[in-house]
Structure 1
Amino acid sequence: MTSILLHQNFNFVIALVLGVSTAFTILLLLLPSSYSPSQEDFIDDHAPPDAAADGQQHRRRQVKAKTSVQVVVLGDIGRSPRMQYHAISIAKHGGRVDLVGYTDSDFHPEIQGNSRINIIPIAPPPGFLRTSNRVLFLIIGPLKVLWQVWSLYYALAYRSRPSQWMLVQNPPSIPTLAIASMICFLRNTKLVIDWHNFGYSILALRLSSSHPLVRISEIYESAFSRLATSHLAVTNSMCRTLAVEHNVSASPLHDRPAPIFQPLTSTERSDFLSRLSETAQYAQDIQKGTWKLVVSSTSWTPDEDFSILLDALVSYSAAATRDFRLPRVLAIITGKGPQKEYYLSKINALCQAKQLQNVVVQTAWLSTADYALLLGAADLGVSLHTSSSGVDLPMKVVDMFGTGLPVLGWSDFEAWSELVKEDFNGRGFTSAKQLSEQLAELFGDDGSLLKRLRDGAEKECTHRWDDEWDIVAGKMFGLVN
């Protein structure tokens, strides 16, 4: 009897050992491959720029990449210009890039067809996991996070090659920072967080600053931030906040316009205004100055209160009825987002009520190239970014300055002065009434005020992305001496 029990126990132990070893072996086989400094990593060498001009044949050759970077944004790549600029700069300096994110929109022209940049799409959440309803968000939100956890993990661990660095956009921080930290640990990759804002401050817009989920999100964001090797931030103010509140040392890397954003000549402006469907019928009047072209870019989210611009345009329209010297206004709003349909219905109601008789409001979704030309052709830019944290800055203003376009923007937050110099390249407002008064002042005089702001914006546009990136991120990645 004893021998039988011993035999059974022995078989059980053998089965247990075999089971555990098999499971461990499977786990090892399923783990993603890790980065090794000695691994061979090659990219295509670019042909000389005069290759086509001199008529010579240049064979494509492979050279060893100076570094490799996973550039990660848990969002639409096409609507994340800063992360696209990172990818372009890394590739330009001889690095290999896996650009990971959603692919809902067109990419920057310098990314399309770039042999050094590999696009890794993330599977988007199904439609039933998307909602703007606050109550449903508390139920559907966790399910959406689970979907994002798996799709992001799969894209980073198995669809991307091992890389020396991983550069992650924050926010969104949940689940991005946790997944990125785990992948970097498993693959021997250095994690860099690029702070555009704070995830918990954006979540507070949906819930409230006192909501338990907001507090949990803040603790989560702070904890995982300490696992990163390096940090970048969009403003000096954000760097100070990270140091004081999260004990994180970040280097400021201010947004600057890419080369595609340039001032236009009068001929280029005329050609574009006549070509673009939204401006074609107003092109001659805009060039004469009897109409003014105002451009605003928005993501149609709660941190940009579009009703401020609508109220200001209603007031301006009424003022233009009383004062014949005020030109009519064509306002073009670009962008995509969850609140777009809501505001389109408001615009339609205002038109039917004849409150926008001297103003035409149009919406557009343009390619990067056409968006840059639209900014260059406009008379004035408007930014409605209100900043959930107070220490981030809107990229759209940087793009506007890149074309020499002066800006009126919401200024009631700490970091505003890092971007706009009052009465030099733009002006700030804190109410719809103030914005309406500024429109009337700039458009109603002899043009000298608007010209002064444009001159300041054109001086500002000399500061470019490459100049800023090379001395901060370029040195960090070891691509610039």
Structure 2
Amino acid sequence: MPIWALYKVYGPSEYEGTEGENVEVHIVVLGDIGRSPRMTYHALSIAKNGGKVKLIGYLETELHADLRNNANITIKALPPPPKKPQFLPFILFAPWKVLFQVYHLTQLLAYGLQPAEWLLVQNPPSIPTLAVAVIICYYRNTKLIIDWHNYGWSILASTKGAGHPLVFIAKLYERFFGHLGHLNLTVSDAMARQLERAPYSIDRPIVAVHDRPAAIFQPVMSKQEREAVLSRVLPRAEKDLVPSIMDGSMRLVVSSTSWTPDEDFSILLDALTQYAAAAGPPVLVVITGKGPQKAMYIQRISALSDAGRLPNVRIVTAFFEDLQDYAKLLACADLGVCLHTSSSGVDLPMKVVDMFGAGLPVAAYSAYTSFAELVKEGENGRGFETAAELANLLTQLLSPEGRTALYSLRKGAIKEGGKRWDEEWESTVGLIMNLVAIP
């Protein structure tokens, strides 16, 4: 079904002829808004086209400046969920956490806000978001859009094991409530096809809306600008390396992560020890982000350095409160590394999208179905599955002999990054919401 036809079915007829005027959208992120770039981009696109947005979620990190300063966007903070005591088993703590979330989310959506035309929810987390959203939309005559980033049950299976009883329950729950949205958005074509087939068999419209970089991610073109950015954004202890990075005697690699189990950073560390043993050119590796496993990996990095196993490799961690600094760092790097492994096999890593927007070629873990929708082997990046393969790629691309290949990949990354979020969003979601006129 073409997008304009979906508008005829799901578009708000009372607003026909007044695109964008009075369209109210509630967006629910049952997570940290500051670390939910796709939902942030949804909110900014709706507001840009005249819609009014209530953006609902946790306030744990700094918000995008454009969110804070947009008159069409109102942030509604949810109280942070309780932390699990170490002595309490997960299976006993989980119901209490869910009840806490159900109460506060229902209070806000049912009593704290006026009904909206659309309710857009991020999935996962599925529990309790989908159930609350379905009930609220039914009683408030609101149209529900489920934005499928991944599957909640597959993420749970990656930590609890596929045979865990909670995984079985989560899978049934997600399949049932996933049928009840008016519209489904997916991050990949592979996910859209999967949702159409058993066991999901969703018979409501499904539209793939690929992640695209925001305008803040741009290639750094001049030597002067690159040097100025590096002098500003690198950690203080590494600023003395700027001249070596600028003259190419030291290479700069960036990897971003949320430090969670779905990204096995031991692959990168093992690859770097093999790269060091092969005496590759000196390299500075900047790992950005924060999350639960960060302290564990910092200890491993220190142990490797103290043991002399990283003689020509310097690894630092950083977290950028200002997204612009992160975007500039990507543009200054020689290579990006992505370790996203995909619990479902059909999602795509947003971090690679941002790297392409900054003109940065990638080496990315590739053993999942949807990988080729984003990374074109030999055109804008290279894929690997093992630490040995990643070490080989680093040796090939960061050596003087690999400059031509790396330059070619950079051109491909710039080309892929030229496809921007606004263009993708306005040709799909914007039309359906009647925020953009049918061409």
- Work out whether the TM-score is over 0.5: yes
Superposition TM-score, scaled by structure 1 size: 0.84
How far, CA to CA, are the matches of 1:126 and 1:170 in structure 2? 21
TM-aligned CA distance change 1:179 to 1:451, over 3 Å = same
Distance change (3 Å), C-alpha of 1:159 and 1:292: farther
1:315 maps to: 274
> 2:229 pairs with 254, 260, 272, which one?
272
Structure 1 residues 369, 158: closer, same or farther in 2, change over 3 A? Answer: farther
- SS of the residue corresponding to residue 228 of structure 2 reads helix
Is 1:371 paired with 2:320?
no
Give the Å deviation of 1:182: 1.3
Q: CA deviation at 1:38?
A: 7.2
Counterpart position of 1:473: 429
Go from structure 1 to structure 2 and tell me whether the alpha carbon gap of 1:159 and 1:290 turns closer, same or farther (over 3 Å shift).
Answer: farther
1:242 corresponds in structure 2 to: 195
Measure the CA separation in 2 of the matches of 1:140 and 1:117: 34
Q: How does 1:169-208 map to 2 (within 5 A)?
A: 169-208=122-161
Within 5 Å, give how 1:257-296 maps onto structure 2.
257-265=213-221, 266-278=223-235, 279-296=238-255
Question: 1:388 corresponds to which residue?
Answer: 343
CA distance in 2, matches of 1:136, 1:143: 12
1:442 is matched with 397
Once residues 113 and 214 of structure 2 are traced to their aligned partners in structure 1, the CA distance between those partners, rounded to angstroms, is 27
- Show the counterpart of 2:366: 411
Q: Which has the higher contact order (CA 8 A, sep 6+)?
A: 2
Using the TM superposition, give the Cα deviation of residue 169 of structure 1 relative to its aligned residue in structure 2, in angstroms.
0.3
Determine the C-alpha separation between the residues in 1 that align with 2:113 and 2:92: 32
CA contact (8 A) 2:20 2:434 kept: no
Matched, 1:164 2:117: yes
Which blocks of at least 5 consecutive residues in structure 1 are unaligned?
1-35, 43-62, 321-325
User: In 1, distance between residues paired with 2:331 and 2:240?
Assistant: 18
Contact 1:67-1:164 at 8 Å conserved across structures:
yes
Equivalent position of 2:420 in the other structure: 464
Which residue of the partner structure matches residue 4 of structure 2? none
> 1:237 offset after TM fit, Å?
0.4
Please state how far the C-alpha of 1:277 moved relative to its aligned partner. Answer: 3.9
CA distance in 2, matches of 1:475, 1:335: 34
Counterpart residue number, 1:339: 293
Matched-pair contact (CA < 8 Å) for 1:100–1:155: no
Alpha-carbon distance, 1:64 to partner: 8.0
Post-superposition offset of 1:164: 0.4
Amino acid at match of 2:316: Q
Range with greater deviation from structure 2 (420-429 or 241-250): 241-250
Report the equivalent of 1:123. Answer: 79
Q: Is the 8 A contact 1:120 1:159 kept in 2?
A: no
Q: Distance in 1 between matches of 2:194 and 2:13?
A: 34
Matches within 5 A, 1:53-132: 65-127=21-83, 129=84
Alignment check: 8 A CA contact 1:232 1:252 kept: yes
Distance 1:388 1:314, change over 3 A: same
Matched residue of 1:110: which SS? helix
**Local SS of the residue matching 1:341:** helix
Shift in Å, 1:37 = 8.5
Is residue 349 of structure 1 aligned with residue 292 of structure 2? no
CA–CA separation in structure 2 for the residues paired with 1:139 and 1:356:
43
Matches of 2:422 and 2:432, distance apart in 1: 14
Unpaired segments ≥5 residues, structure 2: 1-11
CA RMSD of aligned residues (A): 1.8
| Residues 416-425 or 442-451, more deviating | 442-451
2:112 alignment partner, SS class: coil
Residue matched to 1:299: 258
Q: By how many angstroms is 1:203 displaced?
A: 0.7
Query: What is the DSSP-based 3-state SS (H/G/I as helix, E as strand, rest coil) of the residue aligned with 1:232?
Result: strand
* TM superposition shift of 1:130: 6.5
Conserved 8 A contact 1:239-1:251: yes
Structure 1 position 149, deviation (Å): 1.2
Classify the secondary structure of the residue corresponding to 2:342.
coil
Number of aligned residues: 416
Match of 2:8 in 1: none
**1:361 is matched with which residue: 275, 295, 315?**
315
Alpha-carbon contact 1:66-1:479 (below 8 Å) kept: no
**For residues 311-358 of structure 1, what are the alpha-carbon distances to aligned partners after superposition, in whole Å with 9 as ceiling and x for unaligned?**
1111111112xxxxx321111111111111111111111111111121
Segments of 4+ in structure 1 off by > 4 A? 36-39
Larger Rg, first or second structure (1 or 2)? 1
CA, structure 1 residues 95+130, in 2 after alignment: closer, same or farther (shift >3 Å)?
A: farther
Partner of 2:3: none
Q: Deviations over 1:35-59 (max 9, x none)?
A: x9979xx9xxxxxxxxxxxxxxxxx
Residue 66 of structure 1, CA deviation: 4.1
Name the amino acid aligned to 1:257.
Answer: P
**CA deviation map 1:282-307 (0-9, x unaligned):** 11111111111111111111110011
Instruction: Classify the secondary structure of the residue corresponding to 1:158.
Output: helix
Give the percent of matched residue pairs that are identical in Structure 1 and Structure 2.
52
The residue aligned with 1:17 is none
Hey, what's the Cα distance between the residues in 2 that align with 1:160 and 1:437?
55
